Amino acid sequence: MRTYLNSFVSLLLAIRLNCPRVSRSQCCNVRWTIECVPPHCVNYVLKNCPERKMFLFRRTMSRDHEIRRAPPPKCGTAETKYEPCTSRTTADKLFLACCELYVPPECHSLCTYETNQTRSRAMLTDIIERSSCNLNYLSGILFCASQNRDNRQCCSDLEINAPQLQVGSRCLRMCDPSGTEIERITRDDATCLFNWNVIMYCHHSGIREM
């Protein structure tokens, strides 16, 4: 019964599209459009004239090709809102390994991609109040965070240089410490440090491979 219904539906569609009537014996000879593939010819063609199977599956192949030409958005780019390409755990290990080479142990607590605003501000406040890490080492910490990559575009897109912050492009130098040396930290940098989580997020997003 189901086979009869399927054939009946196929026949109705063929009539609606003005498709030619094709007998089974003609399946290897008659040309048809991709809209008029005779259902009863599929198995026949595959068995008796496989060289014609492209006429059966051309529509599927075309769609697959179109999908392949539209790759998914890339991580770490504006297209994905700078979603990092690497896990936080992996990135933190890389960050700390670099810090162990360039900054003293008392500053290693800053060598983590802390992107939570509350936790990052508490971490910096604690270090400043206890004077446990000389902020002169901040340049080295940021260098390790960036892994020698320029992440200013991310910082700019996330508005770390927004007019309401009233610091101009001052904070952007923390997003490209290898290109713009940070000689010393002043009171004018307080706003930048207040947005430490944004800077860390952009540096994390800039890591492409381990």
Segment 125-179, tens digit of pLDDT: 998 888 889 888 898 999 999 988 999 999 999 999 888 877 778 899 999 877 6
Whether residue 43 is found in the same domain as residue 136: no
Report the domain count for the chain.
2
In a domain, 177, yes or no: yes
Q: Do 159 and 84 share a structural domain? A: yes
Q: What does the pLDDT look like over 83-95, one tens digit per residue?
A: 999 999 999 999 9
Domain check: are 156 and 187 in the same one?
Answer: yes
Q: How far apart are CA 134 and CA 84, in angstroms?
A: 29
Asked whether residue 87 falls in the same domain as residue 41, the answer is: no
pLDDT of residue 56: 63
Do residues 86 and 210 lie in contact, with contact meaning Cβ atoms separated by under 8 Å?
A: yes
Residue 117 has pLDDT above 90, yes or no: yes
Residues 84, 152 share a domain: yes
Give the domain range for residue 186.
78-205
pLDDT at 185: 79
Look over the chain and give the mean of its residue pLDDT values, rounded to a whole number: 80
Whether 131 and 31 share a structural domain: no
Is residue 123 within 8 Å of residue 110, measured between CB atoms?
yes
Query: Which residue's structure tokens are 């910096």?
Result: 124
Does residue 73 lie in a domain region? no
Task: Please indicate, yes or no, whether residues 20 and 96 belong to a single structural domain of this protein.
Answer: no
Contacts of 109 by beta carbon, 8 Å cutoff, 6+ apart: 123, 127, 132, 133
